[in-house]
Structure 1
């Protein structure tokens, strides 16, 4: 079952208009840069169809989204030299979900990145090149 985009949803608008800073675009899921990254290369992975959260997302769409999460995380390790990743998702009104469209924050981490208050800290890691471009290249 495909759910049509909700045009009042910021992620649906970004997907429909194609105006995001894209890391990957696939049939069921896509990855793009958030407005306020916590670290260089921080990426959002979302289903291309509108589902509010984990509770209403069909298992096959959730699986494809998580496959892209894993590919993004692997690219962070191989292309950005990240030694780990944090994956964060919130679903439902009691979770402080910021956008009511299922999404996963994939945040690259380094041992010396200075984020001591996860998830509110911001990384002090500074790459020499554009991390999102490297991720996009690795995911092609």
Structure 2
């Protein structure tokens, strides 16, 4: 755990958190009230400190994703949410608010007024061979 990380502090029971689930490898809590996008909005965090999906072990990421699914099903069962948005920002250029792996699980209902898809497009450009470069990089990183 990281001594400067707010989520690590909460996992050490240093501070108040509204825990939904404390597990082995991943935990779920409610975000601060002013940060909730919808009733039931839940954060799923890795119990081990890692900044993002690029840094976490496959085993730890598996535990986090399994809890994301568990929370998603619970939101459907408890509140009738027929959809969820699973949101993650990983790394310094992603607008990640807390440098600790976490996913926002946001319940969705018909005509709820939320629009979670980005409205614009990146201005960053890559060369024309980027699909082949990505294929090579993914192949090189096979688990």
Q: In structure 2, what is the equivalent of residue 123 of structure 1?
A: none
Residue 7 (1) aligns with residue 3 (2): yes
Alignment-derived partner of residue 67 in structure 1: 66
Aligned partner of 1:43 in structure 2 is: 42
Rg larger for: 2
Q: Structure 2-normalised TM-score? A: 0.77
For residues 62-84 of structure 1, give each alpha carbon's deviation from its aligned partner in whole angstroms, at most 9, with x where no partner exists. Answer: 00110000000000011110010
Task: Give me the whole-angstrom Cα distance separating, in 2, the residues matched to 1:82 and 1:73.
Answer: 9
1:27-38 to 2 correspondences below 5 Å: 27-35=24-32, 36-38=35-37
Equivalence for 2:96? 97
- The 5-angstrom pairing of residues 119-134 of structure 1 reads none
**1:103-122 correspondence runs (5 A):** 103-115=102-114, 117-118=115-116
2:12 to 11, 16, 40: 16
**C-alpha separation between the residues in 2 aligned to 1:95 and 1:79?**
32
CA-CA distance at 1:15 after TM superposition = 1.1
Q: What is the aligned-residue RMSD (CA, Å)?
A: 1.3
**Structure number with higher relative contact order (C-alpha < 8 Å, ≥ 6 residues apart):** 1
Q: Which runs of 5+ in 1 are unaligned?
A: 121-140
Q: CA deviation at 1:119?
A: 6.1
Is the partner of 2:84 in helix, strand or coil?
strand
Q: 1:65 to 1:27 in 2, by over 3 A?
A: same
Q: For residues 100 and 40 of structure 1, what CA distance do their matches in structure 2 show? A: 24
- Aligned length, in residue pairs: 115
